[in-house]
Amino acid sequence: MSTLITSGIQISVSTEYRSDLSDVTSSEFFFNYHIEIQNMNSFDVQLISRDWYIFDSLSEARYVSGAGVIGEQPVLKQDETFRYTSGCDLNSEMGMMKGFYTFKNLTDGSLFEVFVPTFLLEYTNKLN
């Protein structure tokens, strides 16, 4: 698990290769990533948007941006945690993702960026 704290928000990420959603013979590899977001600030925050950079060792880099995560823009009070799972497809056995979330401080209305630690997406059989 990778963990990073930015501006009082702790982001932890773990990944898993999904053999049931992949087709190795067609170079289709699918991964889930599990994100845990904890508000360590003394004020409430709301996750407004996400920005992802997806790197595939055999394809062009992709950029994904949008409102919230998994259709939600969660509000986190002090010490609250929000967890979600999402997925990413690659055309190769190895890649990585990095990015950031934009949060809103619900006390003063200011926006701030919170970085997600870079995480690897690796086909498990490639590592043997």
Distance, C-alpha 127 to centroid of its chain: 22
Strands 45-56 and 9-17: unpaired
Per residue in 60-84, pLDDT (tens digit) is 999 999 999 999 999 999 999 999 9
**The pTM is what?**
0.92
| pLDDT of the chain, 128 residues: tens digit per residue | 899 999 999 999 999 999 999 999 999 999 999 999 999 999 999 999 999 999 999 889 999 999 999 999 999 999 999 999 999 999 999 999 999 999 999 999 999 999 999 999 999 776 54
**Is 95 exposed, middle or buried, given 0-12, 13-18 or 19+ CB atoms closer than 10 A?**
buried
Query: Which domain covers residue 9, as residue numbers?
Result: 2-127
Residue with tokens 């062009």: 60
Look at residue 127 in the predicted model and tell me its pLDDT: 53
SS (H, E, C) 47-90: EEEEEEEEEECCCCCEEEEEECECCECCEECCCCEEEEEEEEEE
Domain tally, the chain: 1
pLDDT, mean over the chain: 95
Give the CATH number of the domain where residue 72 resides.
2.60.40.1470
